[in-house]
Amino acid sequence: MYKNKIWLSSPHIGSNELQYVNEAFATNWIAPLGPHVNAFEQALQAQTKSSHAAALSSGTSALHLALILLGVKAGDTVFCQSMTFSASANPITYQGAAPVFIDSESYTWNMAPELLNAALAEAKNNGKLPKAIIPVHLYGMPANMEEILAIAKEYDVPIIEDAAEALGSNIENKPCGSFGEYGVLSFNGNKIITTSGGGALLSENAEMIEKARFLATQARDSAPHYQHSHIGYNYRMSNVLAGIGRGQLEVLNDRVEARRNNFETYKNYFSKYNNAGFTINFQEAPLGYYSNRWLTCILVDPALNNGLTREIIRLSLDEENIESRPLWKPMHQQPIFANCKSYINGVSDKLFEEGLCLPSGSNLTDEEFDRIFESLDHIFAKYQNS
């Protein structure tokens, strides 16, 4: 019997996006910039309690511009969370700089402050502090910003906050993306809201955001002809896509609520098995941390689950046309970064080995949840006290 695919995280359009896009068409504001871009930037500033935002073509381009604005160049090092998507680290290499990877703490799964501290102490001893530190709010869970900021301040190294997965998350009501010198957002198709592709750079520094906009539009000097005294990029968001973004931002709260409900639904479901001989673990939110729960992820240690592994679960779900995915493979394990320095404590290795992201779209239906739970029930039945 054919069953529709259940996706890990698919776009979920609200009711006003098309109207904004139509408006762009009707007024012929198709060409790159326009009123939607300005309005989207203002809405982003309000949402993230940031003074300035530049709408860009991707989260990756936002990270790249942040590194440029901080003067990262060939021969420099940048500290980056190891447990993340490669786009957190790739832009470091665009600048000819070298990433140094920092492992995670076991509750939030994000950058471990004590390892960061050790890495900075060693760097200082060697006379070569990094130019920036990139913590990530993985799957929407805020990193331990209080400690990370305090440590970074002690060594006077700026923070670029990769909040690509964490729009709508906060720590004690301070939004993710607003903690560092720069914050980065992504509106890629699988993120909590999407412009089909896009990103933003956030900062308190007006001058630097203005410079980001300048660099992102080919760095044209003010002259009637095309004159350039900087290397430029084509990194701006188009007015049509910003229209989608405006509509999506209006429904962000609903999307966060739906994803947080997904997490609770899964947690309830697994608690039944956790009371019956299994131990399925989750990403834990410390007190005061509010995660958008972009993706619900579980950890399955075979030693605690009668030999059941996350890979057995993934393959069984796949047979039912249900998409799930291992957690990010840490950067220090990636072939392309094999020669990079890293500070490792075993946490991200274990997360990668045992972790699985479950279908988490804000548009998941009750029927889809029933199908997921039915498949999982079959798997658990096979491993019950075997």
Ligand X SMILES: *Cc1c(COP(=O)(O)O)cnc(C)c1O
Q: By CB under 6 A, name the binding residues for ligand X.
A: 58-60, 84-85, 87-88, 136, 162, 164-165, 186, 188, 199
User: Closer to ligand X at the Cβ: 59 or 243?
Assistant: 59
- Tell me the two tokens of residue 233: 């990029």
CB of 220 to ligand X, least distance (A): 24
Closest CB 328 distance from ligand X, rounded Å? 8
User: Of 34 and 140, which CB lies nearer to ligand X in the complex structure?
Assistant: 140
**Residue 273 vs 294, nearer CB to ligand X:** 294
Give the H or E element holding residue 182: strand 182-186
Compare residues 198 and 247 and give the one whose CB is closer to ligand X: 198
Residue nearest to ligand X (CB): 59
The side-by-side arrangement of strands in the sheet containing 280-282 is 280-282, 297-300, 355-357, 325-326
Nearest distance, CB of residue 227 and ligand X, angstroms: 30
Q: What is the DSSP string of 292-323?
A: --SS-EEEE-GGGTTT--HHHHHHHHHHTTB-
Given a contact cutoff of 8 angstroms between Cβ atoms, the answer to whether 189 and 180 are in contact is no
CA separation for the pair 200, 316 (Å, rounded) = 38
Cα 84 → chain centroid: 8
- In the complex, minimum distance from the CB of residue 320 to ligand X, in angstroms, rounded to a whole number: 26
Q: Partners of 206 in the beta sheet?
A: none
Nearest-approach distance from CB 224 to ligand X, in angstroms: 34
What's the min distance (Å) between Cβ of 87 and ligand X? 4
Listing DSSP states for 55-102 in one string gives EES-HHHHHHHHHHHTT--TT-EEEEESSS-GGGTHHHHHTT-EEEEE
| Cβ-based nearer residue to ligand X, 87 or 120 | 87
- Kindly state the smallest distance separating residue 298's Cβ from ligand X, in Å: 19
Shortest separation between residue 136's beta carbon and ligand X, angstroms: 5
∠ Cα 254 257 262 (to 5°): 125
Write the CB contacts of 22 (distance below 8 Å, at least 6 apart in sequence): none
Nearest-approach distance from CB 240 to ligand X, in angstroms: 17
Name which of 117 and 188 has its Cβ closer to ligand X: 188
Rounded Cα distance between 249 and 289, Å, is 21
Of 64 and 246, the one with the shorter C-beta distance to ligand X is: 64
Nearer to ligand X, 89 or 364 (CB): 89
Residue 259 has a CB neighbour count (10 Å cut-off) of 25
Angle at 196 between CA 192 and CA 202, to 5 degrees: 60
Q: Quick one: 40 or 273, whose CB is closer to ligand X?
A: 40
Q: Name the CA radius of gyration of the chain, rounded.
A: 22
Half-sphere exposure of 15 (CA within 13 A, CB side): 1
